[in-house]
Structure 1
Amino acid sequence: MTYEETLDYLYAQLPAFQRVGAAAYRADLLNIEQLCAALGNPQQGFRSIHIGGTNGKGSTAHMLAAILQAAGYRVGLYTSPHLKDFRERIRLNGQVIGAAAVVDFVAKTQPLVETLKPSFFELTVAMAFEYFAQQAVDVAVIEVGMGGRLDATNVITPDLSLITNISLDHQQFLGDTLPKIAAEKAGIIKKNIPVVLSQTQAETLPVFEAKAQEAQAPLWRADAAYRVEATSAFDSQGRRCFRVWKNELPYYSELWLGLGGNYQTYNLAGVLQALDCLRSVGYQLSEEALQQGLAEVINLTGLKGRWQILSQKPLTICDTAHNEAGLKEVLNALAQIPRQELHIVLGVVADKDLSQVLPLFPKSARYYFCAPAETMRALPAEQLQAQALNYQLKGDCFAGVNEALKAAQLQAHPEDLVFVGGSTFTVAGLNGL
């Protein structure tokens, strides 16, 4: 098969949550355990760092990978979902897995796939593990897909587990309260393996403390040691300046990060605490590597879609935040940017609880509704427009995100602000990203 035929086979044969939703969800680890066993358990062939939580997993994973790369390590990075190309999920020192490697893996495992019938995510995780083992990575940074306890990535034994935060998302699978969701996310805590919490939350902290105590895992609360503040300073490349205190003493007066959203204050605290833990188990991570990795995170790892500046005049920003907590942070950051009018290109998936997210959006903005591309879960633009009107959000419908963005930029004054978001798939549909 060619690469294109291989992808068609993957999507046709294997249910993918990003496309079909609940039908793709597997509530056990049996398939991934059998897949890995058939491949010789490649996940045991490299060191790893496991990143879970609700929001900020991807940004945190990319930051840690970038710092490790800057320190000279050979770094694997597994994240999901992809924006443009399936191969974005599996990277080696920022470079996506080769098309030939994807074709070879699928051809080799096809008989096993047709027997076990794994999900798209399970097979992709197994592919990443084998690739990282074959490429002899020094360490792999592995992002959880959904939950943690039953996530296909949860067959690794990492050097460190990190949980970013807990908010309501995927309630139909993970539970309808923060403590229930936390219990699923806490499933990545392993016996005697240190765990970092990026953000202390009163409702969920007891869940993590109990799990860590049960597993005899040292637990570190990043925000107990680090306090991070986003300044208003941006450089010409869109990098933002942050200030950091450690144990209430000034630590960094200037720390430049290639990701500019306000919400990175939480993620950055978690990363700094994670670095302390990694150094304590033998990782050589210099001050220079820390600063270079954070400043050059986008170039080093190929990260896209997280507070990404698309153009100037009018300033146009996209972000993949898609649940209540993530969107709240993004909209708060947008509110701080000096501008005249705000234009919002908005697309969402059909299984999103819009009663939780639409009230967050400003009534004063002008809206351009569209349906996310490349997913069967897309909510038609007309349905989104009708529901948005219930919250006094007004605008027109467009055939796709690029048509909506073109209209927004034509309508916008040079001093206006344009935002594109609502779903990972809305951002993924942008041309030239």
Structure 2
Amino acid sequence: MQYQEAVDYLYARLPMFTRDGASAFKKDLTNTLRLCKALGDPHKRFKSVHIAGTNGKGSTSHMLAAILQAAGYKTGLYTSPHLLDFRERIRVNGAMIAEQAVADFVSRHEQLIELVQPSFFEVTAVMSFDHFAAERVDIAIVETGLGGRLDSTNVITPSLSIITNIGYDHTNMLGNTLQEIAMEKAGIIKPGVPVVIGEWQMEVTGIFERIATETGSTITYASQQRRVEIVRQDADYMHLKAIRRDEIAASAFRLDLKGTYQMKNLVTVLSAVDELRSNGFVINNAHVEQALMQVQGLTGLMGRWQTLSTGPLIICDTGHNTDGWREILANIAATPHRVLHMVIGVMRDKDLDRMLPLLPEGAQYYFCEVAMPRALPASELREIAGRYGLKGDFFPDVAAAVQAARQHASIPDLIFVGGSTFIVADALAILGTKA
């Protein structure tokens, strides 16, 4: 197969959660283990860090990968979903997997794929393991796709587990309470493997404590170890200081990721670095400082409070659940603007009764949709949003919505694009961003 033929095969042949929803979610690890066994168990041939959580796991994964790269370690990075290019999911030292490597993998294992009948995510996870093993990475940062306990990535035994936080998302599959969701995320905690919890949350801390005790895992709450404050922001960086609870002196960092929610992620990353140092990884402060200044350049992270255009200012963000929207709205409030224009679209399975009441009634809305079955039609979104006092027009796609927003916006205004990772992906493509 050629590259595009291979990718088209994966899209067309395999169930995809991003396209098909819950029906594509395989509720056990059988397929992944079968694929790994047939490939010689590549997931056992490299060290790893496993990251789960409702929000922030992507940014945390990229920051940690950047730090390990800066420290001289050959670093794999597996994340999902991608925004512009399938190969974004699988990187080594920031470089996407080669098109030929994807084509060769699918060609070589097509009969196995037909036999096992895995999901799209199961195949891509195993493809990443095979690539990392072939590249002989020193360590791989592996982000879960959905949940943790039954996620395809949960076949690895990492050197460190990280759970960023617990919030409401994918409740139809993970549970309707924070405790049920926490149980699923906590499934990545392995016997004897230390775990860093990004945010201490009273509702779920007992669950993490119990499972860590059962598995003999040391547990660290990053938010209890440090606090991070914004010193100032400029066009290039968010200037931060991090202060350990047991120290007076602060560490200064410049972060090229702009959303203020990155303060929480930084706390998690710094605790993870402490644990990796305890595991024998040589990471000095200069490595951390250097990496945080160029996370986007080192790892290709996109879609996190990212400026797409100026005059008027257009910003996108992939946050798509209740907690994600709270962070987005805090950043919008802190961004000077006259009129707020909101280009938004959502998936059918999102809890709009939790999300929509958070959105500002005074904004001008441009409701849109992406071309996939999971997408909620823009006309339906406008109708539901209207019940919450949110007014605007609906458009058949993101391009039309963005164009309308730009036509109506003045220079001092702010256009925000979001509501779904896939809305952001289309916006990035429209405005000329490259992977």
Q: Is the contact made by 1:242 and 1:255 (CA closer than 8 Å) also made in structure 2?
A: yes
Residue 304 of structure 1 is matched in structure 2 by 302
Distance 1:248 1:412 in 2: 49
Distance 1:53 1:65, change over 3 A: same
- The answer to whether structure 1 residue 330 and structure 2 residue 328 are counterparts is yes
Structure 1 unaligned spans of 5+: none
Shift of 1:248: 5.6
Task: State the distance in 1 between where 2:131 and 2:321 align.
Answer: 32
Calculate the TM-score normalised by the size of structure 1: 0.97
What SS is found at the alignment partner of 2:298? helix
Aligned-residue offset at 1:250: 4.4
SS at match of 2:212: helix
Partners of 1:414 and 1:194 in 2: how far apart? 50
Q: 1:429 aligns with which of 391, 401, 426?
A: 426
Q: Structure 1 stretch 78-87 or stretch 332-341: which is displaced more?
A: 332-341
- Summarize the alignment of residues 244-263 of structure 1 with structure 2, pairs less than 5 Å apart: 244-247=242-245, 249-252=247-250, 254-263=252-261
1:90-109 correspondence runs (5 A): 90-109=90-109
**Hey, what does 1:417 align to over in structure 2?**
414
Confirm or deny: 8 A CA contact 1:168 1:177 kept in the other structure: yes
* Aligned residue among 375, 378, 387 for 1:378: 375
Partner Cα distance (1:64, 1:252) in 2: 20
2:391 is matched with which residue?
A: 394
- What is the CA-CA distance between 1:23 and the residue it aligns to? 1.2
Q: Per the alignment, in what secondary structure is the counterpart of residue 152 of structure 2?
A: coil
Quote the Cα distance in structure 2 between the aligned partners of 1:64 and 1:339: 33
- Write the distance in 2 (CA, Å) between the matches of 1:324 and 1:137: 36
Contact 2:170–2:349 (CA under 8 A) maintained in structure 1? no
Distance 1:322 1:341 in 2: 22
- Provide Cα deviations, 1:121-173, integer angstroms capped at 9, x if missing partner: 00000000000000011110000011111111011111100000000111111
Please give the alpha-carbon distance, in whole angstroms, between the structure 1 residues aligned to 2:306 and 2:248: 29
Residue aligning to 2:138: 138
Which residue of the other structure, out of 337, 345, 348, is the alignment partner of 2:346? 348
Gaps of at least 5 residues in structure 2 are: none
Code of the aligned partner of 1:178: L
The one-letter code of the counterpart of 2:264 is Y
Deviates more, 1:114-123 or 1:255-264: 255-264
Look up the match of 2:225. Answer: 225
Deviates most, 252-261 or 67-76: 252-261
Say if 2:296 is the partner of 1:294: no
Q: 1:269 aligns with which of 267, 290, 304?
A: 267
Percent identity between the two aligned chains: 52
Tell me the equivalent position of 2:201. Answer: 201
Q: Which residue does 1:166 correspond to in 2?
A: 166
SS in 1 for 2:154: coil
Q: Contact between 1:227 and 1:248, CA under 8 Å: does it hold in 2?
A: no
Deviations 1:381-401 (A, max 9, x none): 111111110011111122221
Q: 1:246 is matched by which residue type in structure 2?
A: R
1:381/1:398 contact within 8 Å kept: yes
The offset of 1:80, in angstroms, is: 0.3
Mean Cα deviation higher: 247-256 or 199-208? 247-256
- CA distance in 2 between counterparts of 1:147 and 1:53 reads 7
- Residue type at the aligned position of 1:409: R
SS in 2 for 1:153: helix
Identify the range of structure 1 (310-319 vs 99-108) with the bigger mean alpha-carbon deviation. Answer: 310-319
Q: Secondary structure at the match of 1:357?
A: helix
SS at match of 1:91: strand
Render the CA deviation track for 1:329-373: whole Å, top value 9, x for unaligned. Answer: 111111111211111101111121211111111001111111024
- Is the CA contact (8 Å cut-off) linking 1:349 and 1:372 kept in structure 2? no
Q: CA deviation at 1:252?
A: 3.4
State the AA in 2 paired with 1:337.
Answer: T
> What amino acid sits opposite 1:380 in the alignment?
P
TM-superposed CA distance for 1:407, in Å, is 1.7
SS of match in other structure, 1:230? strand
Per-residue deviation at 1:251?
Answer: 4.3
Q: 1:177-213 CA distances to partner (integer Å, 9 max, x unpaired)?
A: 0001000100000111110001000001000000000
- The one-letter code matched in structure 2 to 1:195 is V
Matched, 1:36 2:14: no
Task: Write the deviation string for residues 233-252 of structure 1: whole angstroms up to 9, x where unpaired.
Answer: 22323x21122111164443
The aligned counterpart of 1:234 is 233
1:103-135 deviations in Å (ceiling 9; x for gaps): 111111111111110000000000000000000
Partner residue in 2 for 1:185: 185
Measure the CA separation in 1 of the matches of 2:382 and 2:347.
Answer: 13
Shift of 1:406: 2.0
2:18 paired residue number: 18
Whether the 8 Å CA contact 1:372–1:423 is kept in 2: the answer is no
The equivalent residue for 1:46 is: 46
RMSD across aligned positions (CA): 1.1
Structure 1, residues 67-114: CA drift from partner, whole Å, max 9, x if none?
A: 111111111000000111111100011111011101111111111111
Mapped contact 2:122–2:152 kept (Cα < 8 A): yes
Q: TM-score, normalized by length of structure 2?
A: 0.97
Shift >6 Å, 4+ stretches? none
Contact residue 371 and residue 381 of structure 1 kept, 8 A: yes
Farther-moved stretch of structure 1 (68-77 vs 239-248): 239-248
**How much does 1:272 deviate?**
0.5
How many Å separate the matches in 1 of 2:189 and 2:251?
A: 33
The answer for the alignment partner of 1:119 in structure 2 is 119
Asked whether the equivalents of residues 193 and 218 of structure 1 are also in contact (C-alpha less than 8 Å), the reply is yes
The match for 2:65 is 65
Aligned residue-pair number? 430
Cα drift, residue 22 of structure 1: 1.1
3-state SS in 1 of match to 2:155: coil
CA contact (8 A) 1:47 1:158 kept: yes
2:394 partner letter: C
Contact 1:244–1:250 (CA under 8 A) maintained in structure 2: no
